[in-house]
Amino acid sequence: MRIISFGTQDSKFDTPRMGIILDTNGRDSRYRLDCEKLFESADRPSNPLAWFDMDGRWFQRARDTASRLESDAAAFEDARKKGWLVPAEDAYWFAPVPRPGKIVCVGLNYRDHAEESGLAVPKVPVIFSKFSTCVIAPGERVPTDAAAGKEVLAGLKRWPVTVSYFDKASKSGEQAPVYAIKFELYENGISRALVLDYNDFAINGDLTSLELRDTKPCK
């Protein structure tokens, strides 16, 4: 059984919910079981992680329903008519597990790691984060923006950058960032794929216009 987190146009693609990829005769049926449709709205879990509790009633019912639909053509067709199934092309995939929305990490946290990377041992911890929004679905095209197709950028190095901001007044030695800014930085200073993460929500920014001008060498 293959489980996904997905959204659809009617939810503005911003509310992940659990789905199951349905196979028929050993092949992808091109339909996804929308597990939320198996329950009345008042009976659905408020925490999306509850869907992944293998001992929980939501997971067990979804698993049993998927198994029945995959083996019973009549039940499959009935579920499609009831609106339980979402065509594959209408389901936008999210990160497999919707929470946490990001993972805060410590880099170069031991001497061997720094040495094998050819970097100096940091005097203070190097903090960075990984966001669930950086995941794209299998076979999905990489997002395009104004930087795409620019030959002058194609050969440049670029790096993922995360700048995290912490509460200076906090007395705790370990704390999560108050918010973080993530973007992709080219070596010539152009940046794209902006994400502002405020823990409870995140804002994405796309590079919609890019005008490159001739420059004179510095003297």
Q: Please check whether residues 79 and 115 belong to one and the same domain.
A: no
Q: What is the extent of the structural domain holding 110?
A: 102-205
Write the burial class of residue 52 (CB in 10 Å: 0-12 exposed, 13-18 middle, 19+ buried).
Answer: middle
Which among 75, 93, 111 is the end of a domain?
Answer: 93
Q: Would residue 174 count as lying in a domain?
A: yes
Global pTM?
Answer: 0.56
Q: To the nearest whole number, what is the mean pLDDT of the chain?
A: 82
pLDDT at 176: 67
Q: Please check whether residues 180 and 199 belong to one and the same domain.
A: yes
Q: Please check whether residues 18 and 75 belong to one and the same domain.
A: yes
Q: Mind listing the pLDDT tens digit for each residue in 122-172?
A: 888 888 877 776 666 665 556 577 777 677 776 677 777 888 888 877 766
Q: Please check whether residues 171 and 195 belong to one and the same domain.
A: yes
CATH code for the domain in which residue 87 is found: 2.30.30
Please report, rounded to a whole number, the percentage of residues in the chain having pLDDT higher than 70. Answer: 88
| Of the ranges 64-73, 95-104, 156-165, the best mean pLDDT one | 64-73
Q: How far is CA 189 from CA 67, 140, 153, 204, in A?
A: 52, 28, 11, 19
Which among 93, 114, 148 is the end of a domain?
Answer: 93
Q: Please check whether residues 196 and 134 belong to one and the same domain.
A: yes
Q: Please check whether residues 68 and 108 belong to one and the same domain.
A: no
The token pair that represents 11 in the structure block: 């939810």
Q: Would residue 216 count as lying in a domain?
A: no
Query: 21 pLDDT exceeds 90?
Result: yes
Cβ neighbour number for residue 8 with a 10 Å cutoff: 17
Q: Please check whether residues 196 and 150 belong to one and the same domain.
A: yes
Write the burial class of residue 114 (CB in 10 Å: 0-12 exposed, 13-18 middle, 19+ buried).
Answer: middle
pLDDT at 136: 63
Q: What does 88-140 look like in DSSP terms, one character per residue?
A: GGG-EE--SS--SSEEEEEES-SHHHHHHTT-PPPSS-EEEEEEGGG---TTP
Q: Please check whether residues 119 and 136 belong to one and the same domain.
A: yes
Which among 63, 93, 123 is the end of a domain?
Answer: 93
Q: How far apart are CA 129 and CA 135, in angstroms?
A: 14
Cα-Cα-Cα-Cα dihedral sign, residues 187, 190, 194, 198? positive
Q: Please check whether residues 45 and 110 belong to one and the same domain.
A: no
Q: Would residue 28 count as lying in a domain?
A: yes
Q: Would residue 85 count as lying in a domain?
A: yes
Q: What does 35-77 look like in DSSP terms, one character per residue?
A: GGGGS-GGGS-SSGGGGG-TTSHHHHHHHHHHHHHHH-HHHHH
